[in-house]
Every structure is written in C-alpha cells, then in structure tokens.
C-alpha cells in the first residue's frame, strides 16, 4: 500500500523502507562518492557520526571525471582542490553499497547535520538553473512522476535549493558562482 503523500519531507523515510534510496551506491563505485568537507564532517560528528562513518579516499581519475561533470568549466579549480594522488574524506560505504549511516527508517543524522550533497539531492544547479538527477528508485520522483512538485514533496523551496548549493560550493572550496 502506498503511504499518503505529504509535503513534509518524510518521503525519504518511505524511500528507505522500499530499499531504493540515494544513500546507496553500486558496489565498486565507492570512489565516486561525493567528498565530505571538514566543516561538514565536524557538523556530522557533533550530531553523532563516528570515525567509522568516514573513509579516506584517493582522488582517482574516475572521481575527478565525476566532479568535472558536476561542475563543467571548473576543472582547474577542481584539480587544485582535489589534486591527483591526494585524498579526501567520503562516507563509509558498506559491502552491499549502502552508506554506513543509513538505517531502516532513513539517515541516522538529523537533516541539518547531513552532508550538503545529501541535503540537496536530487537537485543540482547548473548555469543558474535548477536541475534534478533522474533516478527510478527515488520515491519522491515516483510519487510526483517526475520533476513537477518535487521540491514540495521533499520539503524544499527554490530558495532552499539555491542556498544549499551555495553552501556546498563554499564548503568544498569552490568560489561563489555569479
């Protein structure tokens, strides 16, 4: 039975019950996980995240290519921030592919303590425009059958999305986008 649709953001908890969430990667793709900056890590640790929830990851070519797709035209800045041979923190991914902080009813952390990428997902900004990553297993997209009303069901306004994206850029060390 489908749970009633609400606009309070609880769709992500329903998504966790169905097992298809953005909190899991395909095993073998761990290196593609987004970076967790020092400021985000500190906020997570203050909310209960432990050493075991973080993994040091080498800045591999696949990681760099993924970042370049997210921030087209900013390859030089990205190479300075995440130089080849260097490393960054990411979330620990369990052998099945799920984030170590994922519980049966969703993320173990309160929303405001989660990494900015998690809080922004499935939205992204490119060229000043709000986009979303299409994902079949996203419960919010299933319930809204695509993008219309997606912000509402996830409890996010356009201002929230732009604000989170700006905070993510700052946290990751990228300059403010005009």
Residues that bind ligand SF4 (CB under 6 A): 11-12, 15, 21-23, 91, 99, 101-102, 107, 109, 114-115, 118, 121-122, 135, 138-140
- Nearest approach in angstroms of CB 15 to ligand SF4 is 3
- C-alpha closest to that of 168 among 35, 76, 57, 22: 35
Question: Smaller CB distance to ligand SF4: residue 84 or 158?
Answer: 158
**DSSP symbols for 63-95:** HHHHHHHHSTT-HHHHHHHS-TT-EEEEE-B-T
Is residue 54 within 8 Å of 48, Cβ to Cβ?
Answer: no
Question: Smaller CB distance to ligand SF4: residue 67 or 151?
Answer: 151
Question: Smaller CB distance to ligand SF4: residue 67 or 150?
Answer: 150
Buried b (16+ CB within 10 A) or exposed e, 97-107: ebbbbbeeebb
CA dihedral 38, 43, 49, 53 (to 10 degrees): -30
Question: Smaller CB distance to ligand SF4: residue 21 or 59?
Answer: 21
Question: Smaller CB distance to ligand SF4: residue 102 or 161?
Answer: 102
- Nearest approach in angstroms of CB 99 to ligand SF4 is 3
Would you give the end-to-end CA distance of the chain in angstroms? Answer: 45
Is residue 115 within 8 Å of 167, Cβ to Cβ?
Answer: no
């Amino acid at each position: 039975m489908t749970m009633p649709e609400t606009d309070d953001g609880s769709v992500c908890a329903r998504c966790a019950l169905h097992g298809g969430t953005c909190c899991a990667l395909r095993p073998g793709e761990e290196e593609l996980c987004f970076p967790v900056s020092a400021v985000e890590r500190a906020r997570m640790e203050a909310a209960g995240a432990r050493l075991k929830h973080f993994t040091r990851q080498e800045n591999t070519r696949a990681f760099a290519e993924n970042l370049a797709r997210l921030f087209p035209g900013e390859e030089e800045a990205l190479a300075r921030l995440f130089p080849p041979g260097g490393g960054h923190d990411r979330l620990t991914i369990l052998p099945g592919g799920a984030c170590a902080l994922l519980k049966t009813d969703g993320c173990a952390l309160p929303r405001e303590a989660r990494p900015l990428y998690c809080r922004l997902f499935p939205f992204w900004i490119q060229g000043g425009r709000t986009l979303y990553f299409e994902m079949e297993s996203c419960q919010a997209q299933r319930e809204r059958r695509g993008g219309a009303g997606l912000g509402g069901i996830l409890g996010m306004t356009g201002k929230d999305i732009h604000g989170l994206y700006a905070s993510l850029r700052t946290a990751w060390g990228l300059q403010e986008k005009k």
